[in-house]
């Protein structure tokens, strides 16, 4: 029997749809406390967080992750119940299996085994766990980091358990992420009858050239670590539902995923310049989701690559592709941050699953990293 599999099942069976934790963190705390971890409940508003630390000395190695999962969608579309962990053809099925309850289980097992073998290890080990990664990320990791910063408690190395792998465990490690900036644009017109366009002003028509220019702008070329900045319209809504009414406003939501070659303020300035050049009447609200970060070298990257090679025989690819993660809140403190977890092919999908053997492999890699850094 696999200890990692058992813990993964226990976590999946807890219906922790964001921002609910459903007892996941209590289960983890009950495992960590007997190992000598001091566990702190850092709940903010509707979000449960824990900070668990073993040791008081530096360097501080931190496992970071989240117990919350995205909704399952219609359960009738699942081959197995999403919140009942089910073994099938060598895989464990259930919401959160890959994102990221399998990683949490592997972290716990790796820590148990490492502490048993190295009770007097160097430095400290910590767990930063939140129930608000899949939600609005307001009261989760960012608030915990604020708390740690206020008391000058610094993370040296942080491993985030996001599902980074593409085809096999450890084939891809995220050593950074692009920045994210969202714009909510309201273009104002004058509502009227489609048969009398001279008495109205159509915000859809007026916006098309500006949106086309934004969509076709080359914001930067990227660099060796980051792809070029991208602009994508994610939502657009205008009209009353009637076919004979010119709408009075148009709502557009767009997002930048940006590299280190440009700043959020530069993107805002250039966007406003385009909107003004097309003489639009508009309001715009900006949501800053995080700066780009990069850990391109250092002991954490080296230990991770060596551990993956030792445990799997694979050379790993360092990548900054994909969405955002809570690493964006941790890296600005000066910590080296990487993301390593299971294969991400089924995350957020119906019938999410992870290969059972991969869970133990991931635990072995995590333990090997601890061994290289703290033994």
State the binding site for Zn(2+): 66, 99, 134, 162, 348
60-66 vs 157-160, strand pairing mode: parallel
- Catalytic positions, written as ranges: 68, 133
What are the tokens at 56? 């008081």
**Calpha distance 69→360 (Å, rounded):** 22
For tokens 């969509």, name the residue: 215
What are the tokens at 120? 């007097």
Residue among 328, 245, 316 nearest 288 (CA): 328
* Exposed/middle/buried for residue 93 (C-beta within 10 Å: 0-12, 13-18, 19+): buried
Residues in the chain: 375
Q: How many CA atoms lie within 13 A of 328 on its CB side?
A: 20
3-state secondary structure of 122: coil
The annotated binding site is made up of: 66, 99, 134, 162, 348
What's the sign of the alpha-carbon dihedral 92, 94, 100, 102? negative
Q: Which residues contact 331 (CB under 8 A, 6 or more apart)?
A: 158, 176, 293, 295, 337
**Calpha distance 114→223 (Å, rounded):** 38
Q: What share of the chain is helix, strand, coil (3-state, %, to 5)?
A: 35, 25, 40
What's the sign of the alpha-carbon dihedral 80, 83, 86, 89? positive
What are the tokens at 235? 């939502």
Q: How many CA atoms lie within 13 A of 333 on its CB side?
A: 27
Residue among 108, 167, 27, 162 nearest 367 (CA): 108
3-state secondary structure of 220: coil
* Exposed/middle/buried for residue 139 (C-beta within 10 Å: 0-12, 13-18, 19+): buried
């Amino acid at each position: 029997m696999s200890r990692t599999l058992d813990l993964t099942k226990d976590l999946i069976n807890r219906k922790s749809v964001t921002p609910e934790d459903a007892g996941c963190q209590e289960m983890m705390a009950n495992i960590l406390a007997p190992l000598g971890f001091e566990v702190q409940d850092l709940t903010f508003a509707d979000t449960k967080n824990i900070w668990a630390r073993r040791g008081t000395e530096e360097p501080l190695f931190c496992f970071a992750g989240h117990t919350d999962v995205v909704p399952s969608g219609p359960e009738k579309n699942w081959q197995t119940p999403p919140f009942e962990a089910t073994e099938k053809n060598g895989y464990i099925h259930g919401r959160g299996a890959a994102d990221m309850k399998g990683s949490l289980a592997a972290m716990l097992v790796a820590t148990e085994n490492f502490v048993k073998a190295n009770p007097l290890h160097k430095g400290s080990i910590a767990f930063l766990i939140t129930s608000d990664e899949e939600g609005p990320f307001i009261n989760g990791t960012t608030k915990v980091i604020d708390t740690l910063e206020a008391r000058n408690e610094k993370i040296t190395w942080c491993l985030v358990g996001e599902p980074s792998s593409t085809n096999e465990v450890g084939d891809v490690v995220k050593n950074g992420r692009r920045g994210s900036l969202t714009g909510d644009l309201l273009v104002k017109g004058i509502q009227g009858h489609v048969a009398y366009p001279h008495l109205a002003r159509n915000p859809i028509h007026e916006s098309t050239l500006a949106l086309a220019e934004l969509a076709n702008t080359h914001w930067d070329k990227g660099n060796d670590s980051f792809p070029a900045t991208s602009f994508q319209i994610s939502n657009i809504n205008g009209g009353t539902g009637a076919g004979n009414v010119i709408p009075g406003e148009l709502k557009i939501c767009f997002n930048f995923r940006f590299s280190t070659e440009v700043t959020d303020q530069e993107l805002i300035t250039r966007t406003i310049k385009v909107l003004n050049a097309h003489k639009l009447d508009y309001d715009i609200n900006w949501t800053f989701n995080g700066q780009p970060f990069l850990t391109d070298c250092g002991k954490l990257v080296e230990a991770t690559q060596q551990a993956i090679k030792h445990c799997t025989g694979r050379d790993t690819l360092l990548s900054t592709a994909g969405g955002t993660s809570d690493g964006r809140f941790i890296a600005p403190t000066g910590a080296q941050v990487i993301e390593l977890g299971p294969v991400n092919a089924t995350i957020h999908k119906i019938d999410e699953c992870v290969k059972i053997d991969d869970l133990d492999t991931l635990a072995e890699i995590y333990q090997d990293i601890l061994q290289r850094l703290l033994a």
